[in-house]
């Protein structure tokens, strides 16, 4: 399908602005650009309660944001933001969190994990797993199941946390929601060849992200805690919803990861959204496809952890 006209308009606007692409910037410039674009997507709906918290980790405290519905939550979603482990934050993901609360009836914990290159691999993973442990206690206080979720690099961190929880006898996770996740370092897939330039996230951008996250060590790209598709054992992981975008370099690796999970006996839903690019879920106020994707999340949440009250 052709690109959605709103998506095409946004791409055209980025080109007209003179934006040179993430791979041609410094981390500080890329962070500023992403933060500035947050206003484009508008605000999410009101929720029952929003609280800024400090989450204890093995290396100190990180910031978090807890959003709760107006009624008792049906689950607690630990959400890890995207941005290639280098950019982004909880403010940029606030719109997704608010729609998740509104549509699913769950609470959401947004995790402000440390970013590379200042804090390279495995620091973001350590923060995210420690935040999962803290969130599991919060979920127990509400007597609700826990879900891990994330978009892009956040989806990568979510499924890695699910693996760590399995291997370290950690919290029982009811569901993984993996939104156009980074799953493998192979940049020679069909989707990379087709959409590697000019569609929000480029092949050059991904190389830039990997280099900052791994301090230029290309061998580490194949580590299973970086490329979960390369993990030897995928059985006994939580059910997974894997959401991909038609015009996204990460599409094929994410769908292959879903197929490998299914082959390992994991319950999997793989959903590809046509005519959109990487990052489309933040466009709740702009395109119907993003709204449909949020409805899909709510439906699968209802099937796995319970319906919104």
pLDDT given at position 19? 85
Q: Residue 101 falls within a domain, yes or no? A: yes
CA pair distance 200, 141, nearest whole angstrom: 40
Q: Quick check: is 111 in a domain?
A: yes
Contact 196, 151 (CB under 8 A): no
Q: Catalytic: 151?
A: no
Torsion of the alpha carbons at 282, 285, 286 and 289, rounded to the nearest 10: 70
Whether 49 is covered by a domain: the verdict is yes
d(CA 210, CA 283): 26
* Predicted pLDDT at 28: 97
Distance in angstroms (rounded) separating the CA atoms of residues 72 and 41: 28
Residue 298 to residue 102: CA distance in whole angstroms = 9
pLDDT attached to residue 20: 85
Interatomic CA distance for residues 285 and 42, integer angstroms:
7
pLDDT at site 275? 98
- Spatial CA neighbour of 176 closest among 127, 242, 261, 251: 242
Q: Give the pLDDT score at 241.
A: 98
Q: Which of 4, 102, 212, 278 is catalytic?
A: 278
Task: Give the whole-angstrom CA distance, residue 42 versus residue 204.
Answer: 28
Instruction: Residue 194: give the domain boundaries.
Output: 5-304
Q: Which of 93, 135, 152, 191 is catalytic?
A: 152
Supply the pLDDT for residue 268. Answer: 98
CATH number at residue 95: 3.40.50.1820
The DSSP secondary-structure symbol of 46 reads P
For residue 309, tell me if it sits in a domain: no
- Whether residue 113 contacts residue 127, with contact meaning beta carbons closer than 8 Å, is answered with yes
Decide if 258 is inside a domain: yes
Give residues with Cβ within 8 angstroms of 274, minimum separation 6. Answer: 1, 246, 289
Does the residue 121 lie in any domain?
Answer: yes
Among 108, 205, 204, 193, smallest CA distance to 153 is for 205
Is 152 marked active-site? yes
* Per-residue confidence (pLDDT) for residue 198, from 0 to 100: 85
- Options 112, 205, 248, 252, the catalytic residue: 248
pLDDT confidence of residue 229 = 98
- Give pLDDT < 50 ranges for the chain: none
Tell me if 120 is assigned to some domain.
yes
Q: What is the pLDDT of residue 15?
A: 85
Query: Is 179 domain-assigned?
Result: yes
Q: Residue 227 catalytic? A: no
Q: What is the pLDDT of residue 137?
A: 97
Query: Domain count of the chain?
Result: 1
Backbone angles phi, psi at 109, to 5 degrees: -110, 115
Helix (H, G, I), strand (E, B) or coil at 115: coil
Angle, alpha carbons 101-102-105 (nearest 5°): 60
């Amino acid at each position: 399908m052709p690109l959605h006209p709103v998506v095409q308009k946004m791409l055209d606007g980025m080109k007209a602005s003179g934006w040179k692409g993430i791979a041609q910037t410094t981390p500080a410039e890329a962070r500023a650009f992403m933060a500035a674009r947050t206003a484009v997507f508008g605000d999410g709906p009101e929720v029952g309660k929003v609280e800024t918290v400090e989450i204890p980790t093995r290396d100190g405290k990180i910031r978090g944001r807890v959003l709760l519905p107006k009624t008792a939550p049906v689950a607690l979603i630990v959400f890890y933001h995207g941005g290639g482990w280098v950019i982004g934050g909880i403010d940029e993901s606030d719109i997704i969190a608010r729609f998740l609360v509104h549509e699913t009836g769950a609470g959401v914990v947004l995790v402000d994990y440390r970013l590379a290159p200042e804090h390279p691999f495995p620091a973001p993973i350590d923060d995210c797993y420690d935040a999962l442990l803290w969130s599991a206690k919060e979920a127990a206080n509400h007597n609700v199941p826990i879900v891990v979720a994330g978009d892009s690099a956040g989806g990568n961190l979510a499924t890695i946390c699910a693996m760590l929880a399995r291997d370290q006898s950690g919290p029982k996770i009811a569901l993984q929601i993996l939104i156009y996740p980074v799953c493998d370092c192979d940049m020679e897939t069909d989707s990379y060849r087709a959409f590697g330039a000019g569609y929000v996230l480029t092949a050059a951008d991904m190389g830039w992200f990997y280099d900052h996250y791994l301090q230029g060590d290309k061998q580490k790209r194949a580590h299973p805690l970086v490329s979960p598709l390369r993990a030897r054992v995928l059985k006994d992981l939580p059910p997974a919803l894997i959401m991909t975008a038609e015009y996204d370099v990460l599409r094929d690796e994410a769908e292959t990861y879903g197929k490998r999970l299914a082959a390992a006996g994991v319950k999997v839903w793989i959903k590809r959204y046509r005519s959109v690019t990487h990052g489309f879920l933040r466009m709740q106020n702009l395109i119907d496809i993003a709204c449909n994707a949020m409805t899909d999340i709510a439906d699968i949440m209802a099937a796995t952890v319970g319906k919104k009250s």
